Structure 1
Amino acid sequence: MPSGVAGPERLKSVSAIVHSMTQLLFREDAYATSFVARVEAVQGAQVRLDRTLFYAEAGGQAADQGVLRWAGAEAQVTDVQKAAAEEDHHGVWHTLQGPLPPIGATVQGELDWRRRYRHMQRHTGEHLLAQAFLRVNPAFRVVAVGMRSAQCTLDLEGLPGEADARAAENVLAEIIRRNLKIKTFDVAQEELPAFPLRRPPQVNGRVRLVGVRDHAGWWEMSACGGTHLRSTAFAAPVVVLHHERIKGGLTRMTFMAGEEAGEFLGEHYRSAREAAQLLSVSPERLIERVQATLDEAARLRGELDRTRSELATTYVRSAKADPIGDGELRVVQVDHDALVTPALRALLACPQTLGVVIAPDGRCGVTSTLTDRHAGKLLGAWLTQAGGRGGGKTELAQGQAQDGAAFEAAVRQWREQS
């Protein structure tokens, strides 16, 4: 066969690939909300269309949702994914909840616009915040992103901290205030060196770029196939909520953008205001008042611990001492389970003593300063007889009896048989 002439099998293969291509309408207009398309294939609960506005999950951005309608029927679009098969690598599959349209049917798709718009705010906010961190310190390079929930993440190199996050927010706030246009366009791969890409592209051939330009040139430039806003102002506010160190020596910055950030901040301000009202201060003084309250609580907790310790010591000293072998047995009844631990501490200070503490709710403990008595083994034996669970070591053991009286009876029976 002459060179350059396609045989039947080759033509069949090319036809299948062309047939499976889905025109991505959102790349032409990310603000469009409805479209008309033809069903090319049906597979399980999924359909492939010849064109779509629905964004397929990729690049850290969640899939769009919405509805497909056709002659007398409709179904919810619950997920959108790119085709996994190599021969169908340009196809986009829409998972439907409800009836399925037949192959060849004309359908009208309508986006869940509120969901799409918030995804656009997240994704645009991610681009702008990543660039802001890079401008704070060139070492703060993005390794991974996550935007599948309202609280998004940036995984950064260079170990940025809280001060760096605040600095990046300030850099970004200026760009947001200037309401700079966000431009999307395709370029050939050989043209890429002319653009200051923040990260190298992950695709070959023609590459879609998303950039923000100011008077000095390109302020931000990335290769990206996601959906974005028309200008920086619509991403506001963009706030970093917290950061944490993760494996690989990276720092994960959690942030929110746009409407979701505004709702989050508003909700938390209302909560802070309610808390401030309970403490009779203004929201601006809430942290100061909370710290003072915590300090006072710590002081009172210390006084309470000392009081409990003194009371528990009184209980121990008042308990009857029964002789056993070379020592004595003290069974201490306390009137609150909070006194069990301080009573055990007091018993440990008593030489040659086997101590038992019992609270009304069945909490119990055993101490031993006798060389021939193992607290943990004795507690286990008594709990087996009385019902309950617990354990410990030679000098100290604690547990929970089903019934305090039954546990005490088991101790007394052991005492009579010893």
Structure 2
Amino acid sequence: MTERVFQDDPTLRSLSATVLSAGAEGIVLDRTIFYARGGGQPGDTGVLRWKDGEVAVTDTVKGEGTAILHLVPADAVLPPVGATVEAVIDWDHRHALMRMHTAMHLLCSLIKGAAVTGGQVGADKSRLDFDLPNPPPKEAIEAGLNRLIEADLPVRIEWVDESVLDTDPGLVRTMSVQPPRGAGRLRLMRIGTDDALVDLQPCGGTHVSRTGEIGPIRVQKIENKGRQNRRIIIVPG
């Protein structure tokens, strides 16, 4: 089992962990701050350091069960099983993804009533696809995004019983990705205050702590991807 420390504290840039296994398929640690690719968000990159060496982490993915695989170059020297390593993420890349992922939730909040059919988080460009025949004008979406960003709203993670999906199925906006079930707990991302809620959705990704941290956002374009499918692409402003 790999403890997912990033789920509760996405601001950690490094931590000490123990190597559970190391091979061509990747390195498994007992705990990690490296986000494993999923839900449209790329996996983290960075480095693992130990007493006698270090290795670059080129990607992070989910392994069998609850394991997380830290992928390394094919010719890399691997740390021994049982070794203590310092796991260090590429913070600039992670923080860019955090800002953009949170901005995508703001975008989702502006397109009310439309299901999300797909999405991809990127440091330089991100997109959300909506089941939406007539999207608002690009300028209106961009203005709405930046108003929410400038409001510097709180962003927080909370854990609830997964049975909330049965009592409130409207929490899930995505048609392409459904929250995992079976663990008993559900991770929700909330933007706004209790009396002024902007967004509340299941999400396993990493996010900033306040919307003001995102910085200006531009809507680059809106693409027609089908009879009712519209792709909205955002970039840092």
- What TM-score do the two structures reach when normalised by structure 2? 0.89
Q: Could you tell me how far 1:238 is from its partner in structure 2?
A: 1.9
Pairing partner for 2:121 from 136, 147, 153: 147
Aligned to 2:26: 46
Verify: 1:127 aligned to 2:101, yes or no: no
CA distance in 2, matches of 1:149, 1:173: 18
Pairing partner for 2:86 from 103, 108, 116: 108
Q: Could you tell me how far 1:141 is from its partner in structure 2?
A: 2.7
RMSD: 1.9
Any idea what SS the aligned residue of 1:243 has? strand
What letter is aligned with 1:41?
S
Confirm or deny: 8 A CA contact 2:159 2:185 kept in the other structure. Answer: yes
- CA 1:179–1:113 in 2, change beyond 3 Å: closer, same or farther? same
Verify: 1:73 aligned to 2:53, yes or no: yes
Any idea what SS the aligned residue of 2:141 has? helix
Q: Could you tell me how far 1:149 is from its partner in structure 2?
A: 5.2
- CA 1:195–1:237 in 2, change beyond 3 Å: closer, same or farther? farther
What letter is aligned with 1:191?
V
Identical aligned residues as a percent: 31
- CA 1:185–1:25 in 2, change beyond 3 Å: closer, same or farther? same
CA distance in 2, matches of 1:77, 1:248: 41
- Please list the CA deviations of residues 123-153 of structure 1 after superposition, one character each: whole Å capped at 9, or x if unmatched: 101111111122xxx2x33211111452211
Verify: 1:236 aligned to 2:194, yes or no: no
Aligned to 1:383: none
Aligned to 1:165: 138
CA distance in 1, matches of 2:194, 2:98: 25
Verify: 1:203 aligned to 2:187, yes or no: no
Largest Rg, 1 or 2: 1
What letter is aligned with 1:60?
G
Confirm or deny: 8 A CA contact 1:131 1:198 kept in the other structure. Answer: no
Confirm or deny: 8 A CA contact 2:55 2:78 kept in the other structure. Answer: yes
Q: Extract unaligned runs of 5+ from structure 1.
A: 1-20, 263-418
Q: Could you tell me how far 1:248 is from its partner in structure 2?
A: 5.9
Confirm or deny: 8 A CA contact 2:100 2:122 kept in the other structure. Answer: no
Correspondence list, 1:191-340, <5 A: 191-192=164-165, 193=167, 197-199=171-173, 201-204=178-181, 205-214=184-193, 216-247=195-226, 249-256=228-235, 261-262=236-237
Q: Extract unaligned runs of 5+ from structure 2.
A: none
Confirm or deny: 8 A CA contact 1:244 1:252 kept in the other structure. Answer: yes
- CA 1:51–1:215 in 2, change beyond 3 Å: closer, same or farther? closer
Count of matched residue pairs: 229
Confirm or deny: 8 A CA contact 2:155 2:211 kept in the other structure. Answer: yes
Aligned to 1:91: 67
Q: Could you tell me how far 1:243 is from its partner in structure 2?
A: 1.4
- Please list the CA deviations of residues 263-297 of structure 1 after superposition, one character each: whole Å capped at 9, or x if unmatched: xxxxxxxxxxxxxxxxxxxxxxxxxxxxxxxxxxx
Confirm or deny: 8 A CA contact 2:133 2:227 kept in the other structure. Answer: no
